[in-house]
Structure 1
Amino acid sequence: MVNHKVLTRRSFFAAGAAFAVAACNNGLATNATQTLENRVNATLQELYGKYPNARPIVENSRGVLVMPVLTQAAFGVGGAYGEGALQVGGKTVDYYSAAKASIGLQAGARQFAHVLVFQTDRALEDFRAAPGWVAGAEAYYAVPADGMSFGTDTVTRNHPVVAMIFGETGVMAGAAIEGTKYTRIIPSALATR
């Protein structure tokens, strides 16, 4: 006896809808990934253009996390969010989100770019292995707006992670990433903006 499956209208439309959703998600992820890649590359070019001494640090690093925009807003309770890419040897290997929450006397909004430079294999391995890496005091903060220059001096060589913060805009003073949690995300989860 031959068992024939009957294709009903309902199963036909369900299969078609599933295919359409899969195709749309694939396209959105590709577009969001390409958009983020373009922003990451533009952010690095902005960094090199404004602060030429940053180039050798980035190029000689074990890896670099580029966050093109971290948006922070607060009115008593605050939060920040951004998405970026981890590059090793100049190639993207993972995507990350950055999130931070805060409570206290604060009001306003700002945006800024930042780059985390991993100068040792151990620092990069710890970052990649962590389910959620939190920026802390172990990082050296090179903030051009505060008059610091990027360079391969003793300070940057002696710190496994160098955080470069630049391009700040907004009405809140003092961009900082301490306490920011970085979490790996899959490309299809990238926000499309």
Structure 2
Amino acid sequence: MRVQYLLTALLLACLSNISLAASKVEIDARIDATLNEFYQHVPEGKALARKAKGVLIFPQVIKAGVGIGGEYGEGALQIGGKPVAYYSTAGASIGFQLGAQMKSQIILFMDTQTLQQFRNSEGWKVGVDGSVAIAEFGAGKDLDSNTLKQPVIGFIFSNKGLMYDLSLEGSKFTRIIRE
């Protein structure tokens, strides 16, 4: 029972770092910082983002779980370097998991058709409505040329926390309306 209380406290501490239903200004500021970090970690990142038809950026996605887990984050879709819509990402999972983590996600839509399918959907679920090729990068790793040929390329970085998951499978992206 103490473990559950400890994990609940840990989850609340992690969630206190982000505010749910952030304003456009807050999301945009976090996005700028996230893109700068992405460009530092992935030398090819800036050129890829320029070639992309759309870039979906989630600066802070919090995931926590004790057997059953969940994640949530807010971000924006940029086209031509400007935000055109704001989205949330949410997901749930069941299985062996214990802990919490915060990560950043960048998803590049490399072709117009896939971007339009995403924008026209009521809620786009990875693995159902489309797949995302996760790019592996890091110390001494070059981006895989097969991954770079995919219509949707995902980058997950800045893992901070006690859980490690480099997957978007089951994540759902939903447009959020902001006044």
TM-score (norm 1): 0.75
1:44 aligned residue (15, 35, 40): 35
User: Any conservation in 2 of the 1:63–1:117 contact (CA below 8 Å)?
Assistant: yes
Partner residue in 2 for 1:7: none
Runs of 4+ in 1 over 2 A off after TM superposition: 143-151
**Bigger CA radius of gyration:** 1
Across the aligned residues of Structure 1 and Structure 2, the Cα RMSD in angstroms comes to 1.8
| Change in CA separation of 1:111 and 1:118 when aligned onto 2, cut-off 3 Å | same
Q: Per-residue deviation at 1:154?
A: 4.4
Higher fraction of helix: 1
Long gaps (5+) in structure 2 = 1-21
User: Any conservation in 1 of the 2:134–2:147 contact (CA below 8 Å)?
Assistant: no
Q: Per-residue deviation at 1:50?
A: 1.8
TM-score (norm 2): 0.81
Q: Distance in 2 between matches of 1:54 and 1:86?
A: 16
Deviations 1:105-142 (A, max 9, x none): 21110111010100000110011011110122722111
The percent of aligned pairs where both chains have the same amino acid is 38
User: Any conservation in 2 of the 1:65–1:115 contact (CA below 8 Å)?
Assistant: yes
Q: Distance in 2 between matches of 1:131 and 1:103?
A: 25
2:81 aligned residue (86, 90, 96): 90
Q: Distance in 2 between matches of 1:163 and 1:102?
A: 19
How many residues in Structure 1 have an aligned counterpart in Structure 2? 156
| Change in CA separation of 1:147 and 1:102 when aligned onto 2, cut-off 3 Å | farther
Q: Distance in 2 between matches of 1:168 and 1:43?
A: 13
Long gaps (5+) in structure 1 = 1-30, 189-193
2:57 aligned residue (56, 61, 66): 66
Partner residue in 2 for 1:110: 101
